[in-house]
A = this chain, B = another copy of it.
Amino acid sequence: MIGVLGGMGPLATTDFMRKVIEATPATKDQDHIPMVAWSVPQIPDRSAAIFGTGESPLPMMQEGVRRLEQMGAGCIAIACNTAHYWYEGLRRGCGARLLHIGETAAERLVALGVPKGRVGLIGTEATVRTRVYQDRLEAHGYECLALGPEESERLFWPAVRKVKTGDTQGATPLLEEAVERLLAAGAARVVLGCTEVPVGLAPARKEILERCFDATDALALACVAWATAEPARAA
């Protein structure tokens, strides 16, 4: 059984579950992988905790991991990029396989044959500063290029706000420019490490989309790969 630690936010949880379902080879309901989700939006804000203005979300996330294990989850995914800052704290005492979105992204880049070297990264300041992706990507031979503060302020944040208020079309040109800038700086691919970004890029030009890589998709694929490799624990 796959466990989903969620609620950060709640829609990111259902979107992630949907990605696992869509990534599963299935011709009937019974072919799908059992899943349990613990979606508790009351988990304290991750960015506020990282920047020292809010309480730590770790105790509540640990409670979630415990609950998912009690339910029988043999593999747990965290449906939030920034929450991975607390990965080591969550892994301690966790008997299930706990996936790391930076690690599954790195493994997927390798599997796709993306050459070692520069890759771009689009994510929140909290995700970028805490090196959720960088440490794992570097361990696999990739060098991470993130947006500069000016680009973040002018392109990333307005795009995220537009997506959150439903203006996907308005976000698209901003995110296209962000991707283009990272490609121009030598990135072979651009890792989308923030839930809102793939939504805002969905209407983007094909040549842009081909160079992007949705880290949440890679996390969903890793869940399916786990279930395939460990059918007894997945059941």
Contact code string A1-38 (vs B, CB < 8 Å = 1, else 0): 10000011111011001100100000001111111111
| Residues of chain B with a CB closer than 8 A to A14's CB | 14, 17-18, 21
> A94 at the A/B interface (Cβ < 8 Å)?
no
> A70 at the A/B interface (Cβ < 8 Å)?
yes
| Residues of chain B with a CB closer than 8 A to A71's CB | 38, 67, 70-71
Secondary structure type dominating chain A contacts: mixed
> A98 at the A/B interface (Cβ < 8 Å)?
no
A29-B41, A235-B42 known; A35 vs B10 contact (CB < 8 Å): yes
CB distance from A229 to the nearest CB of B (A): 19
CB distance from A182 to the nearest CB of B (A): 28
- For this complex, into which size category does the number of interface residues on chain A fall? 20 to 34
| Residues of chain B with a CB closer than 8 A to A21's CB | 10-11, 14
Which single member of B8, B35, B37, B235 contacts A35 (CB below 8 Å)?
B37
> A40 at the A/B interface (Cβ < 8 Å)?
yes
> A134 at the A/B interface (Cβ < 8 Å)?
no
Copies in the complex: 2
> A81 at the A/B interface (Cβ < 8 Å)?
no
Pair B41/A32 contact, Cβ less than 8 Å: yes
Pair A36/B38 contact, Cβ less than 8 Å: yes
| Residues of chain B with a CB closer than 8 A to A1's CB | 40
A13-B17, A18-B14, A21-B11 known; A34 vs B39 contact (CB < 8 Å): yes
| Residues of chain B with a CB closer than 8 A to A42's CB | 30, 34, 235
A37-B39, A42-B235 known; A32 vs B10 contact (CB < 8 Å): yes
A11-B18, A11-B21, A18-B14 known; A34 vs B29 contact (CB < 8 Å): no
Among all A-B residue pairs, the 10 with the closest Cβ atoms: A32-B41, A9-B29, A37-B37, A29-B41, A34-B40, A35-B39, A14-B14, A10-B32, A14-B17, A10-B21
Additional A-B contacts beyond A11-B18, A11-B21, A35-B39 (6; CB < 8 A) = A7-B29, A10-B21, A14-B17, A30-B41, A34-B40, A36-B38
